Amino acid sequence: MVRSEVERRGTGRELLIIGVPKEIYPGERRVALVPAVLPTLIKAGFEVHVQAGAGIEAGYPDSHYSDKGAKIVGDRTAVFSAADIIVQVLCYGSNDITGKEDVPLFRRDQILVGFLRPFGEAPVIQEIAHSAVTSFSVELMPRTTRAQSMDALSSMGTICGYKAVLVAATSHLRIFPMMTTAAGTITPARVFVIGAGVAGLQAIATARRLGAVISAYDLRPAAKEQVQSLGGRFVELPIEAQDAQDARGYARAQGEEFYRRQRELLGQVVKESDVVIAAAVIPGKKSPVLVTEDMVKGMAPGSVILDLAAERGGNCEITERGKTVIKHGVTIIGAINLAAGVPYHASQMYAKNMTAFLTHLIKDQKLNLNMQDEIVRETLVTRGGEIVNARVREFFTLPALVAQG
């Protein structure tokens, strides 16, 4: 039970407190909860404390929170001190720049929910574990119908795919749509999307709405119908991936020989494209290199590559994480944290996901740690000073935990 695990400090209060601190990752403008979800949380038996100014950069002033029943708290330390549950967008782990500042504020058995980057740096996840918080990583949410309303990774992928096309369009020397003008006809831009996951599909849809001609590739055969339904041409290569998709719906990593052949076949399509949106990400793995420097050299001057896989090394061989560079006349954008560029709706979507997750986790003021529940089992990362997630332990080659009888 949460009330027996979380320090009460003799207050005698009955309601569990959700704390929403201001995001501290540089340039982060999102907020974990928005005013619209507060009535649902309050009705479910929560009290919500929001750090002053937490939502301002996303378009949600403090007055909107207080109008919906939240308590505005001026001090970050006070938010952590009072809260039974801390909800963030980028927790320590995914916030590798300033997130460590929050570690001294953690309390034993406090619940931490947000993006943790569980397959990032082992010492960071160990540090979170040693703080004895009960942490849940939202990027581990299973891709099931039951968990769909809690799938923050898909929500943020949607935002990133949309924003990626806008950033690429404003960086390109040409316009996207075909136009018939007094100066003659302008041909449409050719956009090639590599990786037709959630972000890639939204990129296809957005580029299509802007009037571009779309091609897309994904190693998963099931993606063909989705690409075509959005008006894109699916690029089929005469090679076949082995076990292209895992049980969770994500692409599986392939051997180097497959990627070498894939690069050979993709080269001509890349060369003919004005814009390439690279969105091929393998969860927990370094991003596969699909666009080589030689392929970049073959592109027309002024072309743009936006690499959504930049955070994990990039799909383009010469991507620089977090930077925009021009090489061989091509602009290569190593975008990270693109969702922060659309903070109002990104926060709205994330907050709805978190509300669904919190009301699933907490019933009658008790933490539901039913490990038979796939949602709980897959997202729970640390508890009682240990990394308890089986996938995370396996990734970092930690010994399996012995079940307590």
Would you call 321 a catalytic residue per the annotation? no
Catalytic position from the list 81, 149, 233, 250: 250
Would you call 364 a catalytic residue per the annotation? no
What kind and span of H or E run contains 245?
A: none
- 46-51, strands of its sheet edge to edge: 71-73, 46-51, 16-20, 85-90, 111-115, 134-137, 380-383, 386-387
Query: Any idea which residue has 């590798």 for tokens?
Result: 96
Catalytic position from the list 96, 107, 109, 143: 143
Distances from the Cα of 286 to the Cαs of 119, 195, 396, in angstroms? 10, 15, 14
Catalytic position from the list 94, 131, 137, 154: 154
Q: How far is CA 55 from the centre of its chain?
A: 19
Query: How is residue 206 written in tokens?
Result: 């957005």
What kind and span of H or E run contains 286?
A: none
H helices within 120-211, ranges in order?
122-130, 152-171, 198-209
Residue 111: what residue type?
I
Catalytic position from the list 62, 84, 102, 151: 151
Would you call 148 a catalytic residue per the annotation? yes
Would you call 62 a catalytic residue per the annotation? no
Catalytic position from the list 63, 67, 75, 148: 148
Q: How far apart are CA 13 and CA 388, in angstroms?
A: 30
Query: Any idea which residue has 């954008």 for tokens?
Result: 333
Query: How is residue 91 written in tokens?
Result: 């927790």
Would you call 243 a catalytic residue per the annotation? no
Query: How is residue 364 written in tokens?
Result: 């009658």
Is the CB of residue 296 less than 8 Å from the CB of residue 269? no
The overall longest dimension of the chain from CA atoms, in Å, is 80
Q: Are strands 16-20 and 85-90 parallel, antiparallel or unpaired?
A: parallel
Query: Any idea which residue has 């619209």 for tokens?
Result: 36
Q: Which residues are catalytic?
A: 143, 148, 151, 154, 250
